[in-house]
Structure 1
Amino acid sequence: MTDHPKSHTPKDSHYARLRRAHRDQAAGGPAAPSARPPKPQHAGRPAPADRVRLYGIHTVQAALANPRRRFMQIYVTRNALNRLELDENAAPCPIEIVEPRFLDQELGSDAVHQGVLLETAPLNPARLGDLGETDLVLVLDQVTDPHNVGAILRSAVAFGAGAVVTTSRHSPQESGVLAKSASGALELIAYVQVTNLADALGELKDRGYRTIGLDSAGADELEPALDGGKLALVLGSEGKGLRQKTRETVDVLARLEVPGAIRSLNVSNAAAVSLYAARRHLKG
């Protein structure tokens, strides 16, 4: 009796193609084609010079609730408009209903826009003189990543800080990436940018703040260094930490005691931990 040849399934053909491609490559022939080509990236279009583009449901909701904002235009999908619970006839600026692909083209393929883009004027710059009676301030010494700064803004609001102070150079300006990472916090806290950080630390001292630089080589642990009724926590950049001038200017250098195998934290995580400790001290 003659055996019938086995039928070739698509799976069999797939593995046969892989084997042939492997043999071709080993013999110097063409390499096996990639199973999935890389997804093309699109950077989006730049915002007009007088506008900031904010995106994401929560970010846009927080901005629309901020009376300090001046709005120009909302681009939104019908579904996102329903999620925003925004009345088209009572909106603070013109609304245009668009398709998601329009927002992809405007913002780029990496932006998680959730179907909404708000064009608004930048917030008026905050100043140290606007701090009022807040007892807790966070100071960033050239932290450059907008994702980190956005996460720090969110933690600062959560722990009741009155301001985040940064340098006007080597720090992120107001942007959609910063606002999205802050998840609404940019609308709720003073984001102060100063020309000279050492002068700003001196002004904070004159206002009664104890300035504490976070440094892994600090002589004291953070908790014992927390003293007085007004605190300014100072954190350095992602790579280099505090600059020498900043280290010389703060009242004390303190470290977060990290007992694990990893001896340092991301700057946004270090900010959250130190804010928690500072708030407990101030409440106590």
Structure 2
Amino acid sequence: MILEDKNEARIEGRNAVLEALSASMPLNKIYIKKGERHGVMQKIRELARSSGIPVVELDPKSFEHMARTRNPQGVIALSSPKEYVSVDDILETAERRREAPFVFVLNEITDPQNLGSILRTADCLGVHGVIIPKRRACGVTPAVVKVSEGAAGYVNVARVTNIASTLECLKEKGLWVVGADMDGEPYHRVDLTGPVALVIGGEDKGLGRLVREKCDLLVKLPMRGHVPSLNAAVAAAVLGYEILRQREGRHD
């Protein structure tokens, strides 16, 4: 579990702390309950030592008093907030890897569960970056990092003032802007092998009129049940893996 105040985030739980260390997140200090020295906890100690991060042992009573969750698993890390990058940084990452840009653009995703899941998927896919709006949307909070299982530390995230104008800039840079929308073409019939910005809409209103109009193409996922749409994180995963499948197939 990860909790946050104005200047510092708390990361609670063995896997979350281990991933934060592995991703070289800026951790200020790690607290470990006295007696926890085996398995994952030993690896946490070793990584912290090699990274120069102070490790403080607390007696069980003091540790439990400090914990904010029911099951902190014997370890609490204090970290600095997530540092955002620019859109140009994201595109430079693609250029550095010598890959066609692959970007997620999220329009007003407000649920930390969704954003955390999307960041985890983005890392798995090798997405070069995720773009989110500054207003009416969830930022990369400690809760988001927790849901991402630490993947947020590996993913470039840019916060922009206006998603619609950002899409125009991406188009000028040569990216094909593809929006997920139920009025679109079946996703498997569309060529997604080039530079792509995949746009996923918010939980309540989807893409929104202006953002939809900025898309070069709309794609949809087949729906056979009673619910009219998929969860935003699930849609991002399905469409993201279709993009990866097509890209890898192109090289077969």
Q: How far has the Cα of 1:173 moved from its partner?
A: 2.5
Please give the secondary structure, in 1, of the residue aligned with 2:104: strand
* Gap change, CA 1:247 and 1:64, over 3 Å in 2: same
What percent of counterpart residues are identical? 28
> CA separation in 1, counterparts of 2:179 and 2:147?
24
8 Å contact kept, 1:136–1:232: yes
Letter in 2 for 1:162: H
Specify which of 125, 137, 148 is matched with residue 114 of structure 2: 148
Answer 1 or 2: higher relative contact order, Cα 8 Å, separation at least 6: 2
Aligned to 2:230: 265
Letter in 2 for 1:181: V
* Gap change, CA 1:90 and 1:130, over 3 Å in 2: closer
Please give the secondary structure, in 2, of the residue aligned with 1:96: strand
* Gap change, CA 1:97 and 1:130, over 3 Å in 2: same
* Gap change, CA 1:153 and 1:81, over 3 Å in 2: farther
Please state if 1:251 is matched with 2:207.
no
8 Å contact kept, 1:54–1:175: no
> CA separation in 2, counterparts of 1:143 and 1:243?
12
Aligned to 1:223: 188
Please list every run of 5 or more consecutive structure 2 residues that lacks an aligned counterpart in the other structure.
none
* Stretch deviating more after TM superposition (174-183 or 69-78): 69-78
Aligned to 1:167: 133
Q: How far has the Cα of 1:227 moved from its partner?
A: 3.9
Aligned to 1:58: 15
> CA separation in 1, counterparts of 2:165 and 2:61?
47
Please give the secondary structure, in 2, of the residue aligned with 1:208: coil
* Gap change, CA 1:66 and 1:227, over 3 Å in 2: closer
Considering fraction of residues, name the structure with more strand.
2
Letter in 1 for 2:80: A
Q: Which runs of 4+ in 1 moved over 6 A?
A: none
8 Å contact kept, 1:212–1:225: no
Q: How far has the Cα of 1:99 moved from its partner?
A: 5.5
Please give the secondary structure, in 2, of the residue aligned with 1:219: strand
- Decide which structure has the larger Cα Rg and report it: 1
Q: How far has the Cα of 1:259 moved from its partner?
A: 2.3
8 Å contact kept, 2:4–2:142: no
Please give the secondary structure, in 1, of the residue aligned with 2:218: strand
1:1-284 equivalences under 5 Å are: 47-67=4-24, 69-78=25-34, 80=36, 82=38, 83-84=40-41, 85=43, 86-87=45-46, 92-98=52-58, 106=66, 108-109=68-69, 112-131=71-90, 132=92, 133=94, 134=99, 135-216=101-182, 218-283=183-248, 284=250
Q: How far has the Cα of 1:91 moved from its partner?
A: 5.9
Please give the secondary structure, in 1, of the residue aligned with 2:135: coil
- After TM superposition, the score normalised by the length of structure 1 is 0.75
Please list every run of 5 or more consecutive structure 1 residues that lacks an aligned counterpart in the other structure.
1-43
* Gap change, CA 1:100 and 1:192, over 3 Å in 2: farther
